[in-house]
């Protein structure tokens, strides 16, 4: 399965992703393709909508102390729901769909999540630190929300200006 990234300002990123109802081979093939794709593109998290599949599925592979992303640390999260949340934390976020831009976003520090795995089994996960941030970032994608939507009006305006310039320069190079 050949995947490619959908990049801002593509309107497809604004769609609300649909609940996964069939935990079948189609889902498994997509998840199996998303993981190597995410590693190749230097990602730590990826929602299916970012590769043009607007379903409520996301993967995460948070780097360990050595900066490695071992496959046993891969998390596949389907139909997630946050059931508990507490605290606040701010982190400089980026996104594969918004290349080259990083800005501070404030999110919950700790979350508890109910979700399904690739076979439809129900799971619960308590997350903090970077994992909790990454889950909230990826879950935003399922609602058509991007990290840049969390910026103040002035920071967002500055982003739009810089991003437009970057796209123009990239186009000129091609």
Binding site for ligand QAP (CB under 6 A): 42-45, 91, 93-96, 99-100, 130, 133-134, 137
Nearer to ligand QAP, 82 or 120 (CB): 82
95 is a site residue for Co ion (CB under 5 A)? yes
d(CA 139, CA 145): 9
For CA atoms 36, 38, 43, 48, give the dihedral sign: negative
DSSP secondary structure letter of residue 169: H
- Is 88 among the catalytic positions? no
Q: Which stretch binds Co ion (CB under 5 A): 2-10, 17-25, 90-98, 120-128?
A: 90-98
6 is a site residue for Co ion (CB under 5 A)? no
How many residues make contact with Co ion (CB under 5 A)? 1
Q: For the beta carbon of residue 108, count every other beta carbon within 10 angstroms.
A: 18
Query: Helix, strand or coil for residue 91?
Result: strand
Tell me the β-bridge partners of 90.
106
* Least distance in angstroms from the C-beta of 140 to ligand QAP: 9
48 is a site residue for Co ion (CB under 5 A)? no
Instruction: Single out the catalytic residue among 138, 160, 162, 169.
Output: 138
The phi-psi region of residue 69 (left if phi > 0; otherwise alpha if psi is between -120 and 50; otherwise beta) is beta
Write out the catalytic residue numbers.
Answer: 138
């Amino acid at each position: 399965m050949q995947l490619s990234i959908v990049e801002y300002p593509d309107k497809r990123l604004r769609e609300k992703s649909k609940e996964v109802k069939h935990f079948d081979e189609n889902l498994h093939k997509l998840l199996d393709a998303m993981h190597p794709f995410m590693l190749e593109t230097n990602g730590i998290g990826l929602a299916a909508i970012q590769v043009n599949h607007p379903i409520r599925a996301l993967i995460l592979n948070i780097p360990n102390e050595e900066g490695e992303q071992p496959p046993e640390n891969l998390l596949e999260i389907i139909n997630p729901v946050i059931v508990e949340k507490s605290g606040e934390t701010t982190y400089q976020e980026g996104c594969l769909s918004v290349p080259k831009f990083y800005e501070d976003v404030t999110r919950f520090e700790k979350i508890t999540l109910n979700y399904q795995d690739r076979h439809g089994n129900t799971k619960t996960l308590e997350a903090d630190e970077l994992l909790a941030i990454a889950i909230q970032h990826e879950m935003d994608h399922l609602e058509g929300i991007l990290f840049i939507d969390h910026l103040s009006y002035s920071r967002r305006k500055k982003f739009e200006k810089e991003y437009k310039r970057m796209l123009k320069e990239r186009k000129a190079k091609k």
